[in-house]
Amino acid sequence: MISKLPTNLPPHRSFKLIRNFLNSGDLQRARYLFDKIPEPDLRTWTILISAHSQRGFVKEAIEIYTTLIERNIKPDKLVLLSVAKACAASGDLIKAKEIHEDAIRFGFNKDLLLGNAMIDMYGKCNCVDGARWVFDGLVVKDVISWTSMASCYVNCGMPRQGIFAFRDMGLNGIRPNSLTVSSILPACADMQELKLGREVHGFVLRNAMEGNVFVSSALVKMYASCLSLKQARIVFGKMPQRDVVSWNVMLTAYFLNKECEEGLALFYQMRKEGIKLNHASWNAVICGCTQNGQNKQALDIFAKMQDSGFKPNQITVVSILPACTSLESLRAGKEIHGYVFRHWLIEDKTIATALVLLYAKSGDLLHSKEVFDMMPQKDIFAWNTVIIANSMHGNGEESLMFFRKMLSVGIKPNSVTFIGVLSGCSHSQLVDEGFSIFNSMSSEYSIEPDGDHYSCMVDILSRAGRLQQAYEFIQKIPIEPTAGAWGALLGACRVYKNAELGMIAATRLFEIEPENSGNYVLLSNILVTAKMWAEASEIRKMMRDKGIAKTPGRSWVQVKNRVYTFVVGDKNNKQNDEIYRFLDAVSEKMKLAGYQPNTDFVLQNVDQEEREETLCSHSERLAVAFGILNSSGKSTIRVFKNLRICVDCHNAIKLIAKIVDMQIIVRDSLRFHHFKDGYCSCCDFW
C-alpha cells in the first residue's frame, strides 16, 4: 500500500527509491514519496519532472516545475530542458513564455541545448516570434537550431520563410541532415516549389539519405503535391523500406492527383500484403473517394473500416459526411449522427456544420436547425450553412432571422453569407429586404459584390415579376453579367409568360453557355405557351443542328438502404404495375377535386389524351408513387430530381399529398418543395 511507504529516509535514500519507482513506471508511488519529503534536492525535482514529461504526463510535469519555482528553488539546465519539452507537448504558450523568462532570469538563455529545445517548444506552440527570439539570442547555432527554426516556420503556415531559413542555413555553412530535409520538403509541397524540391532531392541522393523512410516519404508527398505523380511513383518504388506512413503518403498522392482507381488498387494491395493499416490509411481512402466523387465507394470503405475493428475518429467523420450529403442519404447521415452523439464528437464545429448541411440537403430542415441550435460555438461557416440551408428550402424570413442573429453576436459576414441571404430573399420575394442587404455589402462591410451577388439581385427582381426592372438591372451591372443572371431572368419569363424578354435572355445564354440544353428547352416551353409554334420548332431544330440533346429527367427516392431511380415512362421497376395502378386511382380522385392537366409543354402534334398520359408518367410522379407505396407508415417521403419540376407534376403532387395525407418533399434543380394539405412551400413560384 502507498500509505506504508517510508517517509523519513535521508535525501540520498529517498532519491534512490523515487528513481527506482520511476524506472519501473510507478509514478504514483514516486510522487507520493516525493510529496512527503520536506526539502527534496534538485536532482529529485529533475528526475520527477523528466519522468512525467517523458511518459506523456506533461501537465503534471509543468505543475511540479511550478511548485519548484514557488519554493524559490533555482532550477538547473536539465530541469528547464525537461519542462520545455513538456510545454512543447502540451502546446501551452503561456507556460512556454514563463519557461523562457526563467531561462533568461537564471542565466541559461545562451545555452545551445536548452535554446534548441525552446525553439522547438515555441514552434509546437505556434509562436514564430518566440522561436525567432530564442534563435537570434543564440551565440552558436548548430544544425538542430536551424532545423528547428525552419520547421517552426513550416508548422506555423509560413512555408516561404521556412525555405528562406533553409537557404540561410547553407549560406552559414551548416550542413542539413535528414531531419532538416524531411522538415523542409513539406514547405516545397505546400508552395508547389517543384524546382526547389528537385534540388533537395538531388542533395538527398548526393548524401545517401534516400534510405531514410521519413525523407523518402516527404519526397513522395512533395512530388504528388507538385502534380508530378510519375516521379512520386519512382521514389516510392525505390524505397528499400516502407512503413505504413510511406504507404499512406503514396495512397494520398493518387487521390490528390485524381487517380482514384490507382489509389483504391494500392489500398487493396496494402491489405493483401498484410500492411498494418492505421486510421490514417482508412481516412486517406475515404476522403480520397469523397473528393473524387466516388461517394458510394467511400461509404463501402467506411463500412469495411468498422468491420475491420477500426472506430471512426473525427477525421473519418468529417471525410464521410460529404459523401452522405452528395448522395442525399438521410439514413446514412442519421446513423453517423448517432455515432457522433454517442462518442462525444458533436462539439466539433466542423462535424456539426457538416451535419447541418447534410440534413438540409437531404430535405430534413427541422433536424438541420436542431443540430445548429445545439452547437456550443458557432463560427462564420456554421452561420453561413444554416442561412443557406433555409434559403434552399425557400425560407427567406428564416434566412434573414439567422443573418441578423449572426450580426448581433458579433460575427462578421463574408461574401458567402450574402449569397445565402440574397438567395433566401429571392425565393420569398423579399425585394426591399434584398436591396437593403445588397447595398449594405459595400457600404457597411467593405465587400464588393461579384457576379453571384448580382445574379441574386436579378433573381429577386425576376421572381417578384419585375422583369423589365431586372433586365435594366442586368444592363447596369459593372461587370460582365453571368449565366446565372440571364438564367434567372429566363426562368421568370417562363413563369410570367414573357416571350419577348425570354428570347433576349436566351440569346445571351446561347452565347455564354452554348452547350446547356436547359436554356433551349426553357425558351421552347415559353414559346409553346405563347402559341409561337414556328419559333418553338426553330429552337428544337437549332438543338438538333448543334447536336445538343435534352438532359434526360431523372428522379430518385431512397427506400431503406437502396436508391431507386426513375425516368419518364419508366417500366423497369419490379413494382411497375402497382405504381401505375396507384397513379390511375389517385388521378381519378384528383379530377374529382378539380384537377386539370397542364399540357402546355407537351409537343403540339400529340393528341390531348396522349399528352395527359405522358404527364402521368413523368419521373417525379413515378418516384412519388413508389415512395408512397413503400413508406411503411412514415408521414414524410423525400424525392429528388435533377431538373426543374414540371408545372403539371407540381400541381399534381400538391393534390396527391392531400389525398394520401402525407408530406411530400421534392428537391428539384432549384430548391426544395414541401407539399402538404394541397399546398406547396414555394407558393407555386419557383
Please provide the DSSP assignment of 198-210 as one string. HHHHHHHHHTT-T
pLDDT digits (tens, 9 = 90+) for 131-180: 999 999 999 999 999 999 999 999 999 999 999 999 999 899 999 999 99
Cα(129)–Cα(165) distance, integer angstroms: 14
Cα(79)–Cα(551) distance, integer angstroms: 72
CATH 1.25.40.10 fits 450-546, yes or no: yes
Cα(130)–Cα(101) distance, integer angstroms: 11
Cβ burial, residue 559 (10 Å; 0-12/13-18/19+) = middle
pLDDT digits (tens, 9 = 90+) for 64-86: 899 889 888 899 899 999 999 99
Inter-axis angle of helices 451-463 and 467-476, nearest 10: 160
Instruction: Pull the grid cell for residue 158.
Output: 509560413
Q: Both ends of the chain: CA-CA distance in Å?
A: 76
Tell me: pLDDT of 485 over 50: yes
Tell me: pLDDT of 436 over 60: yes
Within a 13 Å sphere around the CA of 331, how many CA atoms are in the beta-carbon half? 10
What is the overall mean pLDDT for the chain?
90
pLDDT of amino acid 83: 92
Pseudo-torsion of CA 521, 527, 529, 534, nearest 10°?
Answer: -110
Cα(210)–Cα(204) distance, integer angstroms: 6
Q: Which residues pair with 665 in a beta bridge?
A: 638, 674
Cα(356)–Cα(368) distance, integer angstroms: 4
Amino acid at 382: A
pLDDT digits (tens, 9 = 90+) for 372-381: 999 999 999 9
Amino acid at 477: I
User: Would you kindly state where each structural domain of the chain is located, as residue ranges?
Assistant: 450-546, 554-680
Q: Are 650 and 562 in contact (CB under 8 A)?
A: no
Determine how β-strand 672-676 pairs with β-strand 636-641: unpaired
Contacts of 402 (CB under 8 A, 6+ apart): 383, 386, 387, 390
Quick one: DSSP state of residue 4?
G
Q: Span 112-132, mean pLDDT? A: 95
Cα angle 229-235-236, degrees, rounded to a multiple of 5: 85
Cα(462)–Cα(491) distance, integer angstroms: 8
pLDDT of amino acid 381: 97
Q: In Å, what is the CA distance from 30 to each residue of 22, 48, 52, 67, 86?
A: 6, 8, 11, 16, 19
Cα(503)–Cα(505) distance, integer angstroms: 6
Cα(147)–Cα(556) distance, integer angstroms: 56
Q: In Å, what is the CA distance from 107 to each residue of 71, 93, 94?
A: 19, 21, 20
Q: Which residues pair with 680 in a beta bridge?
A: 675
In what helix (H) or strand (E) does residue 311 lie, and over which residues does it extend?
A: none
Tell me: pLDDT of 608 over 60: no
Q: Span 259-281, mean pLDDT? A: 93
pLDDT of amino acid 604: 47
Instruction: Indicate if the alpha-carbon torsion angle 44, 50, 55, 59 is positive or negative.
Output: positive
Q: Are 152 and 131 in contact (CB under 8 A)?
A: yes
What φ, ψ does residue 182 adopt, rounded to 5°? -70, -15
Helix (H/G/I), strand (E/B), else coil: 79: helix
Q: Span 315-335, mean pLDDT? A: 93
pLDDT of amino acid 561: 79
What φ, ψ does residue 479 adopt, rounded to 5°? -115, 170
pLDDT digits (tens, 9 = 90+) for 10-40: 555 666 776 776 776 777 777 777 777 777 8
Cα angle 170-217-253, degrees, rounded to a multiple of 5: 120
The arrangement of strands across the sheet holding 636-641 comes to 562-567, 554-559, 636-641, 663-667, 672-676, 679-680
| Nearest in space to 185 (alpha carbons), one of 172, 198, 170, 173 | 198
pLDDT of amino acid 611: 46
In this structure, of 3-17, 418-432, 549-563, 653-667, the range with the lowest mean pLDDT score is 3-17
Q: Span 568-576, mean pLDDT? A: 90
| Nearest in space to 470 (alpha carbons), one of 417, 438, 440, 431 | 431
Cα(637)–Cα(626) distance, integer angstroms: 10
Cα(380)–Cα(556) distance, integer angstroms: 33
Cα(176)–Cα(218) distance, integer angstroms: 15
Q: Are 303 and 335 in contact (CB under 8 A)?
A: no
Q: Span 173-193, mean pLDDT? A: 92
Q: Span 458-475, mean pLDDT? A: 95
Q: Which residues pair with 673 in a beta bridge?
A: 666
Q: In Å, what is the CA distance from 552 to each residue of 315, 518, 524, 555, 641?
A: 37, 10, 16, 10, 11
Cα(221)–Cα(284) distance, integer angstroms: 13
What φ, ψ does residue 557 adopt, rounded to 5°? -145, 140
Q: How many whole angstroms from its chain centre is CA 266? A: 25
Tell me: pLDDT of 6 over 70: no
Q: Are 212 and 178 in contact (CB under 8 A)?
A: yes
Q: In Å, what is the CA distance from 403 to each residue of 145, 373, 400?
A: 49, 14, 5
Cα(185)–Cα(215) distance, integer angstroms: 8
Inter-axis angle of helices 483-496 and 451-463, nearest 10: 10
Determine how β-strand 663-667 pairs with β-strand 636-641: parallel
pLDDT digits (tens, 9 = 90+) for 94-110: 999 999 999 999 999 88
Longest CA–CA span in the chain (Å) reads 110
Higher pLDDT, 611 or 582: 582
Grid cell 449565366 in the structure block, residue: 483
pLDDT of amino acid 416: 97
What φ, ψ does residue 470 adopt, rounded to 5°? -65, -40
